Amino acid sequence: MAQKKYMLKGLLVLAVIATGLALPLMNTPSNVGNRLIVATTTSTADTGLLDYLKPYFDEKYSADLVWLSLGTGQAIAVAARGDCDLLLVHDREREDEFISSGNGVLRVTVMYNDFVIVGPPDDPANASGTDAIRTMRKIAESGASGGCVFVSRGDGSGTEALEKKLWESSSVCGFLLSGWYLSAGSGMAATLRVANELGAYTISDRGTFYKLKDSINESLSLVVICENDSRLLNPYGVVLINSSLYPNINSDLAQKFLLFVTSPEGQDLIGNYTVGGRQLFFPIYGQTEKIGLPREYETIAYIENLRKGG
Amino acid sequence: MGPSGSGKTTLLRLLDGLEFPDSGEIYVGGKRLTMESAPKIRANVGAVFQSPVMFDASVYDNVAFSLRFRGFPASAIKKNVEEALKIVQLEDEAKRNALTLSGGEAQRVALARVLVYNPELILLDEPTANLDPSNSMIIESVLREARSEGKTVVLVTHNIFQAKRLADKMALLLAGEMIEIGDKKTFFESPSDSRTRRFIDGDLVC
Amino acid sequence: MGGLEIFIDGTIRAVEIILSGNPEIFQITLLSLRVSLTATLLGALFGIPVGYLVAIRNFPGKSLCIAVINTLMGIPPVVVGLVVYLMLSSDGPLGFLRILYTPSAMVIAQTVLTFPVTCGITISSIISLNPRLKETLVSLSAPRFWEAVILINEIRIGIITSFITAFGAAISEVGAIMMVGGNLLGYTRALTTAIVLYTNKGEFSMAIALGIILLILALFVNLTLTALQMHYRRHKG
Tens-place pLDDT, residues A168-190: 999 888 777 778 999 888 888 88
Question: For residue A276, how many other CB atoms are within 10 A of its CB?
Answer: 11
Contact A68 C107 (CB under 8 A): no
- The pLDDT score that the predictor gives to residue C158 is 93
- The pLDDT score that the predictor gives to residue A5 is 47
A72 found inside a domain: yes
A7 found inside a domain: no
B206 found inside a domain: no
User: Going by DSSP bridges, is the β-strand pair A278-279/A202-205 parallel, antiparallel, or unpaired?
Assistant: unpaired
Interface of C with A in 157-186 (CB under 8 A): 182-186
- The pLDDT score that the predictor gives to residue A271 is 95
* The last residue of a domain, from among A232, A260, A280: A232
The total number of structural domains in chain B stands at: 1
- Mean pLDDT of the A271-298 span: 90
Does any CB of chain B come closer than 8 Å to the CB of residue A1?
yes
B120 found inside a domain: yes
B40 found inside a domain: yes
B103 found inside a domain: yes
Which range has the top average pLDDT, A157-161, B80-84, C204-208? B80-84
B162 found inside a domain: no
| C13/A21: higher pLDDT | C13
- The pLDDT score that the predictor gives to residue A216 is 63
CA distance B56 to B99: 6
Verify that A137 and A276 share a domain, yes or no: no
CATH 1.10.3720.10 for domain C3-236 = yes
Question: For residue A199, how many other CB atoms are within 10 A of its CB?
Answer: 15
State how far residue C135 is from chain B, nearest Cα, in angstroms: 8
State how far residue A21 is from chain B, nearest Cα, in angstroms: 30
Verify that A129 and A40 share a domain, yes or no: no
Contacts of A248 in chain C (CB under 8 A): 90, 95, 98
State how far residue A215 is from chain B, nearest Cα, in angstroms: 58
**Three-class SS state of C227:** helix
- The pLDDT score that the predictor gives to residue C44 is 94
| Domain assignments of chain C as residue spans, ordered by start | 3-236
Verify that A238 and A109 share a domain, yes or no: yes
Verify that A191 and A83 share a domain, yes or no: no
Q: Which residues pair with A202 in a beta bridge?
A: A118
B137 found inside a domain: yes
**Encoded amino acid at A310, one letter:** G
- The pLDDT score that the predictor gives to residue B112 is 95
Query: Across all residues in chain A, what is the average pLDDT?
Result: 87
Verify that A208 and A126 share a domain, yes or no: yes
Question: For residue B140, how many other CB atoms are within 10 A of its CB?
Answer: 17
Tell me the residue length of chain B: 206
Does any CB of chain A come closer than 8 Å to the CB of residue B96?
no
Contact B53 C130 (CB under 8 A): yes
The total number of structural domains in chain A stands at: 2
Q: Which residue range(s) make up the domain with A223? A: 115-232
Residue A32 predicted with pLDDT over 60: no
Tens-place pLDDT, residues B28-63: 888 999 999 999 999 999 999 988 999 999 999 999
* The last residue of a domain, from among A209, A232, A255: A232
A135 found inside a domain: yes
- The pLDDT score that the predictor gives to residue C236 is 62
Task: Give the CATH number for residue B133.
Answer: 3.40.50.300
- The pLDDT score that the predictor gives to residue A217 is 57
b (16+ CB within 10 A) / e for C123-143: bbbbeebeeebbbbbbbbbbe
Contact C140 B18 (CB under 8 A): no
Verify that A80 and A52 share a domain, yes or no: yes
Q: Which residue range(s) make up the domain with B32? A: 12-156
A301 found inside a domain: yes
In percent, the amount of chain B with pLDDT more than 70 equals 100
Task: Give the CATH number for residue A198.
Answer: 3.40.190.10
Among A48, A108, A35, CA closest to A295: A108
Verify that A136 and A85 share a domain, yes or no: no
Verify that A64 and A123 share a domain, yes or no: no
Q: Are B168 and B184 in contact (CB under 8 A)?
A: yes
Q: Are A295 and A288 in contact (CB under 8 A)?
A: yes
Q: Confidence band (pLDDT; 50, 70, 90) for A12?
A: confident
Q: Are A280 and A274 in contact (CB under 8 A)?
A: yes
- The pLDDT score that the predictor gives to residue A4 is 45
Phi and psi torsions of A275, nearest 5°: -125, 120
Verify that A160 and A177 share a domain, yes or no: yes
CA distance B63 to C215: 45
Residue B106 predicted with pLDDT over 90: yes
Q: Confidence band (pLDDT; 50, 70, 90) for A3?
A: very low
B204 found inside a domain: no
- The pLDDT score that the predictor gives to residue C19 is 86
Tens-place pLDDT, residues A222-241: 999 999 998 999 999 999 99
- Least confident stretch, B57-61, B121-125, B159-163: B159-163
Verify that A151 and A204 share a domain, yes or no: yes
Residue A272 predicted with pLDDT over 70: yes
- Mean pLDDT of the A110-123 span: 94
* DSSP secondary structure letters along B3-36: -TTSSHHHHHHHHTTSS--SSS--EETTEE--TT
A240 found inside a domain: yes
A17 found inside a domain: no
| pLDDT (tens place) for every residue of chain C, 237 residues total | 677 888 898 899 888 888 888 888 999 999 999 999 999 999 999 999 999 999 999 999 999 999 999 999 999 999 999 999 999 998 889 988 888 889 999 999 999 999 999 999 999 999 999 999 999 999 999 999 999 999 999 999 999 999 999 999 999 999 999 999 999 888 899 999 999 988 877 788 899 999 999 999 999 999 999 988 888 877 664
A12 found inside a domain: no
* The last residue of a domain, from among A207, A232, A257: A232
State how far residue C65 is from chain A, nearest Cα, in angstroms: 24
Does any CB of chain C come closer than 8 Å to the CB of residue B175?
no
Q: Which residues pair with C150 in a beta bridge?
A: none
